């Protein structure tokens, strides 16, 4: 005779096949890591940021990330991040959530930025692994716990060892998941096995623990191992397709695969030169706010820009 526990387990397993895990309400399933539009002379284009944020929400994003890597956070200065956050918050209103990147390789600075983000109206914060000084896992735990202790906002960790030189190990993620307002991780490791381990090991965390794809080319594979959605770059251009892919996956995986593969060439083209230069070229070509990138980045070459537009045109033709 089947036990009650076994019956409940099978019921949960059956439900998981027809629905995705629920993301935190303060964040959502599809968050676009927004570029920071600049004027031709290099100033932050706040009116352009408002227009672009509105476009993202209308294209299927239920969250917008400002002051992230795609937003050229390393070159935003002084009050610029907060002016940008206020502009985007005003533009999206209650139609979408606003996440703010507050990570740093200086714990005190990350704490101060997180406090300021809450004061300026962010719904959540994204905190990248400290870069360059490459702390060990003990240092990472202390860093992230200090940030989380400074705010009541949901904190999403950002695991991107290719940029930071240090990964967040699975046991470290499990330990941090025990902090109630550390609600998940943006996974840009391209390691599907690790993502599956994280999903399994963090089940039942006190405040919940979600995983978002941080690399568009593996959005669908990450959904298959427990991701709730994506923090996306390509959603600037193909938001409807990515939103539809996420929605389709639980009950129509073949449709989800079709949509993922349709966008795959674009996902790759957007990173043939350092991001967000190729994306900004495409946004400009489609009449959306973008402007140049700030040094030390260089604007996209003509060859790469043409490649992005060619890949994008294939997706647009299928709409």
**Which string of DSSP letters, residue by residue, matches 278-312?**
HHHHHHHHTT-S--PPPTTS-PPPHHHHHHHHHHH
Query: Residue 21 CA to chain centroid, in angstroms?
Result: 17
**314 close to 262: Cβ distance less than 8 angstroms:** yes
Residue 124 CB-half CA count within 13 A: 28
Q: Which residue from 159, 150, 170, 146 is spatially nearest to 69, judged by alpha carbons?
A: 159
What six digits make up the tokens of 46?
Answer: 């706040």
Q: Look up the pTM and report it.
A: 0.93
What six digits make up the tokens of 64?
Answer: 């917008």
Domains and CATH numbers, the chain: 23-251 (3.20.20.70)
Per-residue model confidence as pLDDT tens digits over 225-246: 999 999 999 999 999 999 999 9
Percent of the chain with pLDDT over 90: 93
- Spot the catalytic one: 97, 131, 132, 158: 158
- Spot the catalytic one: 186, 194, 280, 284: 186
Q: How many CB atoms lie within 10 A of CB 135?
A: 16
Q: What is the pLDDT of residue 6?
A: 47
Calculate Rg over the CA atoms of the chain. Answer: 19
Per-residue model confidence as pLDDT tens digits over 54-85: 999 999 999 999 999 999 999 999 999 999 99
229 phi and psi, to 5 degrees? 170, -150
Query: Residue 75 CA to chain centroid, in angstroms?
Result: 19
Q: Which residue from 140, 206, 149, 130 is spatially nearest to 169, judged by alpha carbons?
A: 140
Per-residue model confidence as pLDDT tens digits over 244-292: 999 999 999 999 999 999 999 999 999 999 999 999 999 999 999 999 9
Residue 186 annotated in active site: yes
Q: Dihedral of CA 11/15/16/21: which sign?
A: negative
Per-residue model confidence as pLDDT tens digits over 197-226: 999 999 989 889 999 999 999 999 999 999
Helix axes 170-177, 192-201, angle to 10 degrees: 30
**164 close to 131: Cβ distance less than 8 angstroms:** yes
Query: Residue 156 CA to chain centroid, in angstroms?
Result: 9
Q: What is the pLDDT of residue 207?
A: 84
Q: What is the pLDDT of residue 18?
A: 60
What number is the average pLDDT over the span 143-149?
Answer: 98
Q: Which residue from 215, 225, 162 is spatially nearest to 195, judged by alpha carbons?
A: 225
């Amino acid at each position: 005779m089947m036990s009650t526990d076994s019956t409940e387990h099978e019921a949960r397993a059956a439900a998981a096949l027809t629905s995705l895990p629920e993301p935190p309400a303060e964040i959502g399933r599809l968050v676009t890591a927004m570029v920071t539009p600049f004027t031709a002379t290099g100033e932050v284009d706040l009116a352009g940021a408002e227009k672009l944020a509105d476009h993202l929400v209308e294209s299927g994003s239920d969250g917008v990330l400002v002051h992230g890597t795609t937003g050229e956070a390393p070159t935003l200065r002084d009050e610029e991040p907060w002016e940008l956050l206020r502009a985007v918050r005003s533009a999206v209103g209650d139609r979408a959530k606003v996440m703010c990147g507050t990570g740093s390789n200086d714990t005190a600075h990350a704490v101060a930025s997180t406090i300021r983000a809450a004061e300026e109206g962010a719904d959540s914060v994204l905190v990248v692994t400290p870069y360059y000084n490459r702390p060990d896992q003990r240092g990472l735990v202390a860093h992230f716990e200090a940030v989380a202790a400074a705010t009541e906002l949901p904190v999403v960790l950002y695991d991107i060892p290719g940029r930071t030189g240090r990964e967040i190990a699975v046991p470290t993620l499990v330990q941090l998941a025990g902090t109630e307002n550390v609600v998940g991780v943006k996974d840009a490791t391209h390691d599907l096995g690790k993502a599956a381990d994280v999903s399994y090991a963090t089940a039942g965390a006190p405040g919940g623990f979600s995983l978002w794809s941080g690399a568009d080319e593996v959005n669908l594979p990450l959904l298959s191992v427990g991701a709730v959605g994506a923090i996306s770059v390509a959603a600037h251009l193909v938001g409807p397709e990515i939103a539809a892919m996420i929605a389709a996956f639980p009950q129509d995986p073949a449709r989800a695969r079709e949509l993922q593969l349709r966008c795959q060439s674009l996902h790759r083209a957007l990173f043939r030169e350092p991001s967000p230069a190729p994306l900004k070229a495409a946004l400009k070509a489609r009449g959306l706010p973008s402007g140049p990138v700030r040094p030390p980045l260089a604007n996209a070459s003509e060859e790469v820009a043409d490649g992005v537009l060619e890949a994008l045109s294939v997706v647009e033709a299928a709409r």
